[in-house]
Structure 1
Amino acid sequence: MNDPATRSAEARAASAGDTALVTAPVAVPRRIGTSDLRVFPIALSGTVFGWTADGPTTTRILDRFVELDGTFIDTADSYAGGRSEIMIGNWMRERRNRDAVTIATKVGKSPDHPGLSAPAVRASVEASMRRLRVDHIDVLFLHIDDTTVSFDETLLAVDELIRAGHVRYFGGSDHTGDRLLEARIASGQLGVAHMVALQKHYNLVHRDEYEGDLARVAGQLDLGVLPRFALAAGFLTGKYRSRADLERERRGAEASRYLNRRGLRIVGALDRVAEETGTSVATVALSWLLSRPRVIAPVVSVSNPDQLEAIMAAPRTALSRHQLTELDRVSE
């Protein structure tokens, strides 16, 4: 960021010395990779819109998100059979705020246009723009790694959409480090746009898939990282501490894999840090993610607007080096 307020916030964070707070107490917008997009460091997922969240609930969630300074909304053409995009599009039209938000969607999983062939990519983007009621998508994610289609074909199709002004930037979602490198090499050889972002399953209880090879490649390619499942299906909110808790909640089955000795040890550490910072378990879990290299904005889903208070507090919550080290240790 080049504006004076941002430089001031960064300077305060950098000058705190040996007891420095690694997370800045000001929610400084973050740049997505090499793009010119700068977003509030939390992305709101549209996963539940049109599924477990009806129209009025979705509207309240989106309204509260922007009230709390949110700017980045992430959805997909496959979420609720396209209804998620429709709801977001209707909301933007009613609020007349398209220019105030950054919209990301994904292609590859829609039953209407499956895969990443050139015809499927073009048809998917056109359908998404109709549902979203927009003339362009800010970030288009390849929702799958379609190995049945050459990268050349997919990359040329995406570049065509970028040159037409229908897509601004694009990224990967389910790719290995080797495949990301392959895509970058192909982009260079073809002289087309390259990926600027990566969505990947990453949180305190699920670190191995991203950390290591993928993290190294993300750094090498200067990708902005947006962790998916940032709260581990709700486990990292602290609400699942027993089998009875799992049985009471709809998403309990998804969180059950983490209800073990290691998972409870992590939640215990989050409890301690939350008490020290006067925040919540969810806030601390997201603040830890935001301290990781290259992470731009964790992608978080909520089922009601009240849950956003804790979520949106994460970029403004300062964790000490000691607290971050403790969370690193218990989650290894």
Structure 2
Amino acid sequence: MTTPDTHLVPIGRSDLQVFPVALGGNVFGWTADRDASFQILDAFTDGGGNLVDTADGYSAWVPGNSGGDSETIIGEWIARTGRRDDLVIATKVSTHPEFSGLAPANIRAAADASLARLGTDVIDVYYAHFDDESVPLEETVAAFSGLVDAGKIRTFAVSNYSAERIDEWMAVTEENGFHKLVALQPHYNLVERGFEGALRERAERYELGVFPYFALAKGFLTGKYRGGASVDSPRAGGASEYLNARGDAVIDALDAVAASHEVSLATVALAWLRHQPTVVAPIASASRLGQLPDLLASATVALTPEEFASLDASSS
């Protein structure tokens, strides 16, 4: 697989540079076993990709797993290949069964556990996975900032936070001189466009790099589920909520654009998302090696203004 001629993109105000598509590690140890995960990581990095997104809670919901399973596989891949410098690693805290929430001691302990599983001495982007209003925000922000000072993380970010809580986080940062957020991870894709209001305004105001998750709407935007098709995948069960007239209109628009470029619907859906204001890289996962070329191709597909308008109108 050849490396695409693609410029790397900065994450917010940080000095980290990433490929404009991120690889979701939520499937590692779940729908992709160790060998398949290694193949996917090999192909992703060989294809120019560098940002891998995971969390300490992945995938505690799978029978036989205990949390941190994805991080462990990534760490084993690094140990096997020696390619730590080829990755920008983003992981998260608050959902591991042993490290729930965002109390300062928990954040520090969870970070140490993630570092051990990943087999690295620093996490590039460390996310607060979900807001924890039971903990004073000043304590949470201080803990993340302290991890930067300790050299255990390079930067930090938030996922699933409201616009108002981001304002509060930034106010605490300014009042105390803490290190600043660099990124935001929201639920955002062609059929889930709630981000385009207050959250996007906050990303612009605070210069946050945006990394949308569920970028392919749980598989719906691949076109696999249409015309009454059953949704039986353990990952894509949620795609059934889009099997309606609006979803049909989106798939029809994707079909037309994909045909004109001779690429897949997934490639077009990710390309649309990649070009949205404030978006650095959509996050998409692959359970099989054969799914990866469509993800990588989205980094170089250039959509016309007319194609953007068609896609926008289909889901409005």
Which category of TM-score, normalised to the shorter sequence, fits these structures? Answer: over 0.9
Find the counterpart in structure 2 of residue 232 from structure 1.
217
- Is this contact kept in 1: 2:145–2:178, CA < 8 A? yes
Which of residues 61, 74, 84 is equivalent to 2:53?
Answer: 74
**1:195 corresponds to 2:169:** no
For residue 255 of structure 2, what is the aligned residue in structure 1? 271
2:35 aligned to which of 56, 67, 85 = 56
Structure 2 runs not aligned, ≥5 long: 60-66
Q: TM-score, normalised by structure 1?
A: 0.90
Paired letter, 2:254:
L
Quote the residue 1:85 is aligned against.
Answer: 71
Alpha-carbon distance in 2 for matches of 1:276, 1:52: 32
Partner residue in 1 for 2:284: 300
Contact 1:31 1:296 (C-alpha < 8 Å) held by counterparts: yes
Relative distance call for 1:124 and 1:328 in structure 2 (3 A) is same
Provide the C-alpha distance between the structure 2 equivalents of 1:252 and 1:164, rounded to a whole number of angstroms.
Answer: 39
| CA-to-aligned-CA distance 1:123-182 (integer Å, 9 cap, x gap) | 000000000000000000000110001111011111111001000000010111111011
Matched residue of 1:227: which SS?
Answer: coil
Structure 1 consecutive aligned stretches of length 4 or more whose deviation exceeds 6 Å: none
What does 1:43-192 correspond to in 2, within 5 Å? 43-80=22-59, 81-192=67-178
1:309 aligned residue: 293
| Contact persistence 1:239–1:245 (CA under 8 A) | no
User: What amino acid is aligned across from residue 266 of structure 1 in structure 2?
Assistant: V
Q: How far 1:242 sits from its partner (Å)?
A: 3.0
Residue aligning to 1:14: none
What is the alpha-carbon distance in structure 2 between the residues aligned to residue 294 and residue 319 of structure 1? Answer: 17
Paired AA for residue 262 in structure 1:
R
Secondary structure (helix, strand or coil) at the match of 1:198 reads strand
Partner in structure 2 of residue 283 of structure 1: 267
Q: Secondary structure at the match of 2:99?
A: coil
Bigger helix share: 1
Q: Aligned partners of 2:5, 2:251: CA distance in 1, in Å?
A: 26
| Counterpart for residue 258 of structure 1 | 242
Q: Show CA shifts across 1:85-126 (max 9, x none).
A: 000001011110111110000001111011000011000000
Percent of aligned pairs sharing the same letter:
45
Aligned partner letter, 1:302 = A
| Aligned equivalents of 1:326, 1:158: Cα separation in 2 | 42
Q: How far apart in 2 are the matches of 1:144 and 1:250?
A: 23
How far apart are the structure 2 equivalents of 1:231 and 1:196? 24
Aligned residue for 1:69, secondary structure, equals coil
Post-superposition shift, 1:26?
4.4
Contact map agreement 1:26 1:315 (CA 8 A) in 2:
no
Given that residues 245 and 252 in structure 1 are in contact (C-alpha distance below 8 angstroms), is that contact kept between their aligned partners in structure 2?
Answer: no
Shift of 1:251: 3.6
Question: 1:20 is matched with which residue?
Answer: none
What is the CA RMSD across the aligned residues, in angstroms? 1.1
The one-letter code matched in structure 2 to 1:36 is: D
Distance in 1 (alpha carbons) for counterparts of 2:244 and 2:237: 14
